[in-house]
Amino acid sequence: MIGFYRVLLVVLPSAFRAEYGSEMLTLVRDRRQDEPGLVAQLRLAAELIPDLLSTAFREHLEATRRDVNLAVRSFLRSPLDPAIIVLTLALGLGANVALLTALDHVLVRPLPFPDADRLVQLWESAPLRGYREVQPSPGTFRDWEERTRALETLAAHTTTEINLTGGDGPPERLASCREAGRFFTLLAPRPVLGRVLDVGDQAPDATPVVVISEGLWQRRFGGRREVLDATLDLDGEAHRIVGVLPRTFSLPHRETDLWLPLRETAVDWTDRADHFLNVMARLRPGTTLAAAQADLDRVSADLAREFPETNRGSEAFLRPLRDEISGRRGTSLVLSGLAALGVLGIAAANLAGLSAARARRREGELTLRTALGAGREHLIRQLLTENVLLLTAGTALGLLLGAAALPALAHLIPDAFAVDDALRIDGRILGATSILATLTGFLSGWWPAWRITRRTSALALASSDRSGRTRSGHRFYRGIVVLQVAVATILLLGTALLLRGLATLSNVDPGFQSEDVLTLRSTLAGPQADDRVVRQRFYDDVLRRVRALPGVESAGFAGFLPFTMRGIVWPVGRSGDPTSQEAPVPLAVFREVTEGYLETLRIPLLDGRLFDARDEPDALRSAVVSASFARRIWPDVDPLGRQIEFLWPWLEGETWTVVGVVGDIRARALDRDPLPQVYVLHRQTPGLSFHAPRDLAVRSELPPESLAPELRRILGDVAPDQPVSDLRPLQDIVDAETTDRAHQAGLLASFAALAALLAALGVYGSLSLAVARRRRELGIRRAVGASTQDILSRVLRSGLGSTVLGALVGISAGLVLAPLFRHVVFGVPTHDPRALLATGGGALLLGVLASIGPAWRALRVDPVEVLRPE
Amino acid sequence: MNKDPLTPATFHILLALADRDRHGYAILQEVETRTEGALKLSPGTLYSNLKRMLAAGWIVELGSALAPEGEAARRRTYHLTEDGRATAEAELARLERLVGQARGFGLQPRAAS
């Protein structure tokens, strides 16, 4: 009993225990003597133990409160150090919090659909037409539905834009999704109102229905519940609203506002040659990706045998839906994540240095207190309290900064996740941050503190001895500074490369002139859309009026402006020339245009002519091709007058005659290898309403603010029920091509700047310490006549020494790592000399700036004061 | 001067030291006797209170500087200071006022059963 109590005394704070521990034990002994007997003993124990625990708790709390007070007062006395520590921690942690959240969404979090890990996306190849990987055709989709054994639910959809007219509000053009198969069974969103679509809605005789987005519901219908069963006029056809989908459902795109069924009758489901569907599916439980692929291969083999004209050599692929959605963002995020960790590492190193310096400065005080009997536990406890306070403040501030930075990263969140959802720091991120913070705090605060108190205890017993022990510590500390500079240099190099890549990309010649061109999109809808004559009348009307506007130089329509459509790449061949089956089929970007378009974009004419009045609807079909196309198809001959064919079954036998050759443009993307282009005139092209021109381009010296209302007016006059969308200068479209990379570079640049700042602080701190430590030596040198230059060169050599070493290490490491991120940098080699030069220069500047303060102080050391007897 | 009411434990410790100096166990016994068993102080409570009263200056320790090692050293004696006496008296006054006010409302002390 007594022994037990004595052992239990350990829960008390050491000071209290030292004071009163033995008395308490005596007391217990006395009471035990007074109350013998087992029952009394048990009663005693039941009384003593809770008393001990509650006393211990109260005393610990009391001690902590005292320590916190002391800590806060010491911070207020010299606020600079604690402020730097808190800020450093906050910046390092904040960056990581933001990135962890983004990374979580792109790589870790499951997609917000049921059994998301079993969701896949399917593609097929069409070697007969030269496609290595292409969207599946309707026929293939039906084949998969009927024949696969490994997939349990299949869904197909295609995205399109639909005109909404009538009702309250102006006509709008809305991003829409037409779904076939079991789209909503697969993704199972819970509607805010009403129901989702099902297979029954795809039946030929089903009532046309539509499901709208929550955004559209609020915007156009004010969130009224009566929206159900209301009718919308979509592309001229009445549709009944049967449901509203929540904002959190953002497949296929965040902007999607309408979901409609893809009717049985709207598509030829035996067509195995038209590739336009997005196909997703869920694997049967327990089926691996490999097994499903094997199953698909089996089906592909069967189809190739049964339908050789379309499917010979065709294969199918499937990939996890998650990978499809995250896409390229994964790599750039990992890059940023590493950068953030680097910043945190530098911050932690700085903190270690600062804490050690602070502790060393208080060495005298701590030594005295140890000598006077303050237990080591007490000192550790106090230093610990200070560090915990700083850590907590830094973490809290860091979380705030991180949360504030999240909107800037919103563009990195894939479409499938609703943005609102993403902009919250959730529990796991908080947990991960706390772990990071604790690790950082431990490495940078507590460990040095622990070592210091051990030293002070030893010092209290021995006489003060400064020399030996500090030298290895000094070397260690310098090593840390070199490491800090190295990490900062790596980040600087990365930034320099990204910026060079950005500059190179911005300088890529798109092949056309984008200044002074205003564009917009407007499509006929409904049954009119399918009539070529009606469409042409619309174009003619609009163009006539637009060209009549003063200040307008030229105007024309095209199917799709550059950079707005990555697809519509068609197989083209020489007419009358039996296309060899083995040769790779030439692919070209196919665009339907009206007269005036090529002139508006100032695409240079190299041979022959552009489209003009000679190209009547029923005359010989004309085509204008790009120079690379002509070179490819007719390498040694003049292409003018020769004929081409598009290798689609529905265009069999139709030929186009080349009347002109123009310069190549980058039609699909600025950073992709350009494919050759073929332009045809709308009024001569049969059918194909999807490719019919919808984008209007107008070249004019008028500023957009004056031209835009005029264009709207003209379109409103010619086609009042047709929405006008995407009214913007062509230059904006071109600039948007560099936006992603600009964001990336900006992100990395901020990290690099942060890292450089922190590393500079590290160099500054280390150099300050060195100067402080060598004051006597410097004073003596001064006294015996060392010049200003001499002192300066000593200090600078010390400071720049670490910097140069760190920079060299950093650049070498960067050169080794850079090839891993090669495809993130555009167009420059990873050892680009300008980038390397800039990086080296930056690192040197860092070192020089950091050395100024300490150098100044070194120069002002007064030899008299230093040499005075201590 | 302490304006807040004292805890029962604190007050009784002050009372126990009012007539003579005592060591820990003696305080404990005195309090238990005086309150007829109602307040039994445990070691933890006792010493944390003593610590607080020492810090407030209401009591002092009588160090046994010349005492030999062993028994006596482990029994530190406590002595009530003038401040401590004043505090106890102020608390007494407060309690009396309270009792007076209660009587004014027509309440009478009920005998303990």
pLDDT digits (tens, 9 = 90+) for A80-127: 778 877 888 888 888 888 888 888 877 777 888 888 889 999 999 888
Rounded Cα gap, residues A177 and B25, in angstroms = 86
Beta-carbon separation of B47 and A30 below 8 A: no
Contacts of A59 in chain B (CB under 8 A): 48
Per-residue pLDDT reduced to its tens digit, A206-220: 899 999 999 999 988
In whole angstroms, what separates CA B18 from the centre of its chain? 8
Specify the higher pLDDT residue, A461 or A857: A857
**B54/A contact by beta carbon, under 8 A:** no
Residue type, A393: A
Taking CA–CA distances from B40, the nearest residue in chain A reads A47
Distinct helix (H) and strand (E) counts, chain A:
26, 22
In whole angstroms, what separates CA A37 from the centre of its chain? 74
Closest CA to A443 of A339, A343, A345: A345
Q: What is the pLDDT of residue A605?
A: 95
Of A51, A58, A59, the CB nearest to B43: A51
Closest CA to B41 of A708, A337, A52, A470: A52
**A302/B contact by beta carbon, under 8 A:** no
**B44/A contact by beta carbon, under 8 A:** yes
Beta-carbon separation of A16 and B45 below 8 A: no
* Block residue for tokens 């708790």: A57
Closest CA to A733 of A662, A665, A825, A828: A665
Rounded Cα gap, residues A122 and A133, in angstroms = 10
Q: What is the pLDDT of residue A462?
A: 54
CA distance B107 to chain A (A): 35
Closest CA to A336 of A561, A495, A133: A495
Beta-carbon separation of B51 and A20 below 8 A: yes
Beta-carbon separation of B42 and A16 below 8 A: no
A361 pLDDT more than 70: no
A87 token code pair: 């800020």
Of A19, A24, A58, the CB nearest to B43: A24
Q: What kind and span of H or E run contains B29? A: helix B24-34
Mean pLDDT, to the nearest integer, of A710-732? Answer: 90
Strands A587-593, A677-681: pairing kind:
parallel
Of A22, A28, A51, the CB nearest to B74: A22
Q: Is A135 helix (H, G, I), strand (E, B) or coil?
A: coil
Q: Return the residue in A6, A23, A29 with the most chain B beta carbons within 10 A, the one to mutate for interface testing.
A: A23
Q: How confident is the prediction for chain A on average, in pLDDT?
A: 84
Residue type, A352: A
Note the pTM of the prediction, 2 decimals: 0.73
Rounded Cα gap, residues B63 and B21, in angstroms = 12
Closest CA to A68 of A536, A381, A473, A422: A381
Rounded Cα gap, residues A540 and A683, in angstroms = 10
Rounded Cα gap, residues B57 and B74, in angstroms = 22
B14 token code pair: 């002050």
Residue type, A616: E
Q: What is the pLDDT of residue A446?
A: 67
Residue type, A419: V
> For residue A532, what are the CA distances in angstroms to A161, A684, A688?
19, 9, 9
Q: Return the residue in B27, B32, B47, B53 with the most chain A beta carbons within 10 A, the one to mutate for interface testing.
A: B47
Confidence band, pLDDT 50/70/90 cuts, at residue A591: very high
Give residues 16 to 75 of A whose Cβ lies within 8 Å of B.
16, 19-20, 22-24, 26-28, 30-31, 47-48, 51-52, 54-56, 58-59
Phi-psi region of A572 (alpha: psi -120 to 50; beta: other; left: phi over 0): beta
Q: Which residues, 6 or more positions from A441, have their beta carbon under 8 angstroms from its beta carbon?
A: A89, A351, A387, A388, A390, A391
A183 pLDDT more than 70: yes
Per-residue pLDDT reduced to its tens digit, B43-77: 888 888 998 999 899 999 886 544 455 555 456 78
Beta-carbon separation of B45 and A55 below 8 A: yes
A242 token code pair: 């049967």
Per-residue pLDDT reduced to its tens digit, A419-466: 665 566 678 888 888 888 788 777 776 666 666 666 666 655 554 444
A20 pLDDT more than 60: yes
A31 token code pair: 């009471």
DSSP structure string for A611-629: --TT--TTSPPEEEEEHHH
Q: Return the residue in B42, B71, B75 with the most chain A beta carbons within 10 A, the one to mutate for interface testing.
A: B42
Rounded Cα gap, residues A423 and A835, in angstroms = 35
Rounded Cα gap, residues A251 and A187, in angstroms = 9
Phi and psi torsions of A288, nearest 5°:
-85, 165
Cα angle A417-A420-A425, degrees, rounded to a multiple of 5: 95
Q: What is the pLDDT of residue A720?
A: 83
**Residue A23 CB neighbour total at 10 angstroms:** 20
Taking CA–CA distances from A55, the nearest residue in chain B reads B44
DSSP structure string for A507-528: H---SS--TTEEEEE----GGG
**B85/A contact by beta carbon, under 8 A:** no
Beta-carbon separation of B47 and A52 below 8 A: no
> For residue A484, what are the CA distances in angstroms to A488, A639, A795, B58?
6, 62, 19, 57
In whole angstroms, what separates CA A783 from the centre of its chain? 59
Rounded Cα gap, residues A513 and A662, in angstroms = 14
Specify the higher pLDDT residue, A803 or A335: A803
